[in-house]
Amino acid sequence: MSKLIPSLDNFTRCHDTSEPISNFKAPRGQAGVSILWPKQWSSKIKKLEVGNERIIAITIATEPMLCIINAYMPTINTNSEIQYSECLDIIFDIIEKHQSKYVIILAGDLNGSLLQTRTNKHDKLLKEFVQEVSLFRPDLGNQPTFFHHAHHGSSQIDYILSNRNNLSKKYSILDKSYANTSAHCAVILHTNISIPLLVRNTNQKKTIKTKVLWEQKDEEKYRETILNELLQKDLPTLDIDKQIDIISNSLLNAQQQSIPSKITQLKGPKWKATPEVTVLLRMCKVIYNKWADLGKPIGHPLSLELKIHKKKLRQRQRMEQAIDRNTIHNKIMNTSSSQMFHRLIRRNLGDNSQSAINCIKTDENEYLFLAKDQRKAFANYYEDLSAPKPEQFDDLYVNLCKIRQKEMLKTLEDQEIPSDYFTSADIIKAIEELNMNKSPDEFGLCAEHLKFSKNEIAPYLTKLFNNIIETLKTPGTFKTGILFPVLKKDKDPSDVNSYRGITVTPVIGKVFEYCILPKLNLQNITDLQFGFTKGLNPLISSFIISESKYDQTRKNNEFYMGFLDVKSAFDVVQHDIILDKLLDLNIPSFLWLVIKDLYSNLSTKVKWQGDLSEKFSVHQGVRQGGILSTHLYKIFVQDLLLELERNSLGLNTGNIFVGTPTCADDMAFIETNRDNLQIMLNVSERYSKQHHYKIHPTKTKIVTCGKVTNADWTLYDTPVTISKEATHLGITRSWKKEGEINVANRIKLARRTLYALMGSGVHGTNGLDPVTSYKIYNTYVLPRLLYGLEAIPLNKTNISQLESFHRKNLRHFQSLPQRTAIAAIYLLIGGLPIEAELHKKQLSFLHNLLSSNVQRVDDIIIRQMSVNYDNPNSFFSTIREILLKYGLPPIHLLQETLPSKLKWKSLVTKHLNTYWQNTLRDDAESKSTLKHMDTKHLLVGKNHPVWTIFDKTKAEVRKAIIKARIVSGTFILNSDRAKFNQAPSSVCQLCNLSEENIFHFLLECPILSNIRITYFQPIKTYVTQHITAEVWHSVFQSKSSIIRLIIDCRHFSQTLRDDKIMNMIETKTREMCYKLYIKRLKLLEAMDG
């Protein structure tokens, strides 16, 4: 491209970049992609290391900044929708990572049409994708961009799309001209972004951010410093806010004196030069300056010296980067902390945070680019959200709540208040509930400050909290918070309405709320609320829907599922209403007064891009992030659930009411009577008006099952959306093909997760070693692939689709070819088939059901086991077969004596691993390609030694890949080509003496004898040192024994005995195989010229 158009710079990838394609057999649909630009722009353009041979992307430092994606999508053919979906997921990952900071432009031959008149499989996928990521294009009617070369028609498949609908000044499709020999027309977009490029302001004030290194704490000094500071203060004589201020300062001072910190944000690159690199850099600069002073003469000794030192510098930099990468990989594999594991992955992925949004759009369609303006817009949005709007609702109920509270206050004036309500043990228990590694509060405190001084600080907090109870006044510091806008899933990051406000409340205030919570003794008054309840899996709600649906559809009954969408549920809870409901729960009256005071005069600040907004008052809502918030919200809505149940509005399965399965604010209505469903909506509407919140009538969806005609429902006199499918708790609900739809969604999500992890090195040959990749895959991808599938029935086709995706990834991590035996794919890496992984989740969910301690769930289990056990769509029919398959106790025995969660997990793992270990071993022993692999030592959960790589460099990984192909029988030699591809000869091309098979390659070919002697002799010497020469001649007298030793030394575990010896032999044979492979490859390339 540079030779064709030398005046322009470019970023180009072709289909034959990594795999050459013959010019005489160029297949259709395998060309390339290129982005070109004037050379004077190059300093402002960054080529992104993303995409594949069909997709490339660059960023341009314009104002606003641009991210341009160029795509050449697959052509349509049999099963092309799989590859098309994969390409869309790659584009999705690029957009998701960059849309917060960049205006997105997607351009190219998309091989799918957005026209309504076309509806092939690519068109449907493209239209869904464009809608999902909110891309826009000007309407140019049906004007075609592609004309078939054989005049079979024309279509519109070339587009320039953007996520900014006001980006285009002019959009046009050029007419075909004689100079255009392509079947496509040119598509042109003139943007309103100014050129030349604007220089971004780099003189912004930057604050230095530090991180406290708690793992390096001097705990004794920290505690001693706190005690010394607090002993000098006479806290009881001070007011509560002043006491908290002194305690907070003491904790911060002690931290500064006894715990080191490091700067986390500096100007310049993240990579810091070591002293060795710094010396080489200085030498290069000195030599260059001397050479420049002489006029940079060509061929001068200084010029040559500069080249030598530059080479040394690059070598040192590459070596240190490799060491750093290896260190990260070892930490990932060896860390026992899940939090550390996730932190390491995030670090290796790089910064994809949304804390530097390029543009925010307000409700008035005003675009804000400056951080201070964006911060103010967020503050205005959340302040408006926290302000009650009584004119939109029925005030009668709220006024009654206020009157009742007013009367209650009169009766509580002379109540007796306990003096020592909290003990130090209560405080310590509350402190232990705090989560570490969280953001500090407004005063700089985090959980670690209290956790590492709980015994010293507990007496002071005990007196403080008891003082609050005695005075019935909570300190003002407990009523503040820092609100962080967090982008909601699949929402537009430029829209201020797309963010959920998460509030970080004061840490000491959290401890106080944790102390209060058990004293309230709150209990669910409905068994159908499964959100925010300890010991309950939220998916039990989905399980109830599934069991009810397939129970009714089996009887050919009509079945309706309604999913309510409550607007800003937590943010609009009326304080007067929630306080009134607390009165009915018989909590201690003085605690009610404390909570009332805690929720008066609340305020918060918005934190955005490192700075805080002005403080604003909060008059309604329970703060997301508060300890009591989730419990108060459940109290707020539970009366609605109770009213519906008492009036028998909703489905009864047998005599068990199951009509309102709910998880926090995700409420579902299930019914078989359409009139009853309308009454349920009417009750919900009346309840929402009384309680001052809104339900979206158009976002609320009803899914009908069965041959339903002329059905319609309303909410606020607005028709409710009747949909073929709706999402509830991440599971798509529909009448038909529910399993197929959810499996497709799960595969798409898992695939996107996998592409997002590419930055962490999970991409085969050029990335992490397979064992590390597999661990990351198990931690991040597999849970997303299988989420929720335990709660819905799946058929063999669904499981086959999951298996295909799972197996492809495991094969990809190990760089194994398509024809690798299935048993080898799993056993080499110690993995399980997806069926086994799904069974583990189903068995774990069974334990969740049996241990729920919810009477209604127990009743459902008994009823379904008795009545619905033979229904193939019932969970209990499936789980009965799974228990039988693995030799686990049947459900009725588990009901009588249920093991603990840990014991059940251990029992399941043992039985399941044993079953699949034997199954995969039996399969492996029947495969001719695996005849040299030792199968009796292969274990599920433990990788084959071929993947035990101690020095995890890319070179070592590539060596292991060659060895893994030899072990799995997929290393291609001439004998294989003759067998499968009808090649003219199976004779070795190097020596032309005999058939080239694995024996010939490893032991016989005379052309490779020098390499063989160089690397095999040390292996023989090492082995004889540990087993003696006599044993060597006895055991390894035949070529077949030598081959087995080279390919898989575990055949001789009885002889070699020590794992360390076998690991060393594996390392040495890996080196030998690789050197033979490289030598053969070079000789063949030389022969081909």
pLDDT, tens digit, 9 for 90 and up, residues 775-797: 889 988 999 999 999 999 999 99
Q: Which of the pair, 763 or 381, is modelled with greater confidence?
A: 381
Within 8 A by CB and 6+ apart from 698, the residues are 718, 720, 721
pLDDT at 478: 95
Whether 89 and 109 map to the same domain: the answer is: yes
| pLDDT value of residue 25 | 45
At residue 695's C-alpha, the angle toward residues 692 and 697, to 5°, is: 140
- In this structure, are 517 and 571 located in the same domain? yes
**According to the model, what pLDDT value does residue 355 have?**
47
User: Inter-axis angle of helices 589-598 and 507-520, to 10 degrees?
Assistant: 150
Is the pLDDT at 809 greater than 60, yes or no?
A: yes
Quick one: pLDDT at residue 334? 63
Q: Is residue 457 part of a domain?
A: no
Candidate from 721-735, 753-767, 880-894, 978-992 with smallest mean pLDDT = 753-767
β-pair partners for 290? none
Question: Is residue 582 domain-shared with residue 648, that is, in the same domain?
Answer: yes
- Domain match, 719 and 742 both: no
What pLDDT sits at residue 528?
Answer: 94
Residue 924: beta bridge partners? none
Point out the least confidently predicted range of 192-196, 403-407, 716-720, 812-816. 192-196
- My answer on whether 1034 and 888 are in the same domain is no
Question: What ranges in 386-446 are assigned the alpha helix state H?
Answer: 396-411, 424-432
The continuous run of DSSP H or E covering 605 comes out as: strand 602-608
853 plus 774 within the same structural domain: yes
- The pTM of the full predicted model, rounded to 2 decimals, is 0.85
* Residue burial 751-765, b: 16+ Cβ < 10 Å; e: rest: bbbbbbbbbbbbbbe
- Distance between CA atoms of residues 739 and 926, nearest Å: 33
Average pLDDT on 260-269 reads: 64
More confident residue, 926 or 53: 926
What is the 8-class DSSP label of residue 689? Answer: H
Q: Give residue 197's pLDDT band: very low, low, confident or very high (50, 70, 90).
A: very low
Q: Are residues 35 and 184 in the same domain?
A: yes
Indicate whether 937 belongs to any domain: no
pLDDT of residue 439: 86
**Where residue 268 falls among pLDDT bands split at 50, 70, 90?**
very low
Query: What's the token pair of residue 405?
Result: 């509270």
Q: Which tokens sit at 709? A: 């005609």
Q: Where are the beta strands (DSSP E) in 863-955?
A: none
Structural domains in the chain (count): 6
Same domain for 576 and 632, yes or no, is: yes
Task: Decide if 3 is inside a domain.
Answer: no
Q: Is residue 933 part of a domain?
A: no
Does residue 676 carry a pLDDT above 70?
A: yes
> What's the pLDDT band for 544 if we cut at 50, 70, 90?
very high
Position 198 pLDDT exceeds 50 = no
Query: Among 430, 433, 500, which Cα is nearest to 461's?
Result: 430
pLDDT digits (tens, 9 = 90+) for 585-636: 989 999 999 999 999 999 999 999 889 999 999 999 998 888 999 999 999 9
Indicate which CATH number applies to the domain containing 171.
Answer: 3.60.10.10
Q: What is the DSSP letter of 556?
A: T
| Residue 980 pLDDT exceeds 80 | no
644-658 pLDDT, tens per residue? 999 999 999 999 999
Task: Work out the end-to-end distance of the chain between its first and last CA atoms, rounded to an integer number of angstroms.
Answer: 26
**Helices in 335-395 by DSSP H: which ranges?**
338-349, 371-385
Burial (0-12, 13-18, 19+ Cβ within 10 Å), 177: exposed
Supply angle C-alpha 767, 972, 810, rounded to 5: 35
Q: pLDDT band for 200, please (50, 70, 90 cuts).
A: very low
Q: Which residues contact 339 (CB under 8 A, 6 or more apart)?
A: 437
* pLDDT for residue 122 is more than 50: yes
Q: For residue 288, with 0-12 CB atoms within 10 Å meaning exposed, 13-18 middle and 19 or more buried, which class applies?
A: middle
Rounded CA-CA distance 637/688 in Å is 9
Which of 589 and 490 is assigned the larger pLDDT?
A: 589
* Model confidence band, residue 722 (pLDDT cutoffs 50, 70, 90): very high
Distance CA 428, CA 512 (A): 11
Residue 1059's pLDDT band (cuts 50, 70, 90): confident
Give 473's pLDDT tier (boundaries 50, 70, 90): very high
Confidence of residue 203 (pLDDT cuts 50, 70, 90): very low
At residue 767, the pLDDT reads: 64
Rounded distance, CA 109 to CA 187, Å?
Answer: 10
- The mean pLDDT of the chain is 88
Q: 868 and 1000, same structural domain?
A: no
Determine, yes or no, domain membership for 627: yes
**818 & 922 share domain:** yes
> Tens digit of pLDDT for each residue in 840-859?
999 999 999 999 999 999 99
Cα 825–chain centre separation: 25
Do residues 65 and 45 make contact, with C-beta atoms less than 8 angstroms apart? no
Beta strand spans in 525-577 (E)? 559-564
Q: If pLDDT is split at 50, 70 and 90, which confidence band does 399 have?
A: very high
Determine phi and psi for 284, rounding to 5 degrees: -60, -40
- Helix 396-411 to helix 575-583 angle (10° resolution) is 50
Q: Which is more confidently placed, 267 or 217?
A: 217
Taking only the tens place, the pLDDT of each residue in 304-359 is: 999 999 999 888 888 877 777 667 666 665 665 566 556 656 655 554 544 456 67
Residue 459 lies in a domain: no
Is residue 142 classed as helix, strand or coil in its secondary structure? Answer: coil
| pLDDT value of residue 761 | 60
CA distance to 437, 482, 618, per residue, from 441 (Å): 12, 7, 18
Mean pLDDT (whole number) for 202-221: 75
Residue with tokens 């669910």: 524
**Structure-block tokens of residue 307:** 């080249």
User: Which pLDDT belongs to residue 202?
Assistant: 45
9 forms bridges with which residues in the sheet? 37
Last residue of a domain, one of 190, 223, 249: 190
Confidence of residue 983 (pLDDT cuts 50, 70, 90): low
Question: Residues 255-268: what's their mean pLDDT?
Answer: 76
The whole-number average pLDDT for the span 415-435 is 92
- Domain assignment present for 290: yes
Instruction: Say yes or no to pLDDT of 177 above 60.
Output: yes
Alpha-carbon dihedral 744, 745, 750, 753, rounded to 10 degrees: 140
Question: Residue 492: its pLDDT value, please?
Answer: 79
Q: What is the mean pLDDT of residues 875-882?
A: 96
At 755, the pLDDT band (50, 70, 90 cuts) reads: confident
Q: Report the DSSP pairing between strands 718-719 and 721-723.
A: unpaired
Query: In this structure, what are the phi and psi dihedrals at residue 109, rounded to the nearest 5 degrees?
Result: -85, 100
- For residues 693 and 590, membership in a common domain is answered with yes
Is the model's pLDDT at 474 over the cut of 90?
yes
Contact at 8 Å (CB) between 476 and 410? Answer: no
Residue 570 pLDDT exceeds 50: yes
Distances (CA, A) of 207 to 256, 265, 267, 358, 481: 18, 8, 10, 20, 21
Strand, helix or coil at 170? Answer: strand
Structure tokens that stand for 115 in this block: 């026209």
Query: Residue 218 belongs to what domain range?
Result: 212-262
- Is 856:659 a contact under the CB 8 Å cutoff? no
Task: Inform me whether the pLDDT recorded for 267 exceeds 50.
Answer: no
Q: What was the pLDDT predicted at 356?
A: 53
pLDDT value for 23 = 46
CA-based torsion, 1076, 1078, 1080, 1082: positive or negative: negative
In a domain, 895, yes or no: yes
pLDDT at 695 over 70: yes
Number of C-beta neighbours around residue 710 at 10 A: 5
- In this structure, the answer to whether residues 184 and 43 fall within a common structural domain is yes
- Residue in 543, 540, 554, 527 with CA at minimum distance from that of residue 868: 554
* pLDDT tens for each residue of 30-87: 678 999 999 888 888 999 988 888 999 999 988 788 999 999 999 988 888 888 999 9
Q: How far apart are CA 531 and CA 1046, in angstroms?
A: 57
Q: Which residues, at least 6 apart from 354, have a Cβ–Cβ distance to it below 8 Å?
A: 100, 487, 493
Q: Are 929 and 1036 in contact (CB under 8 A)?
A: no
Stated length of the chain: 1089
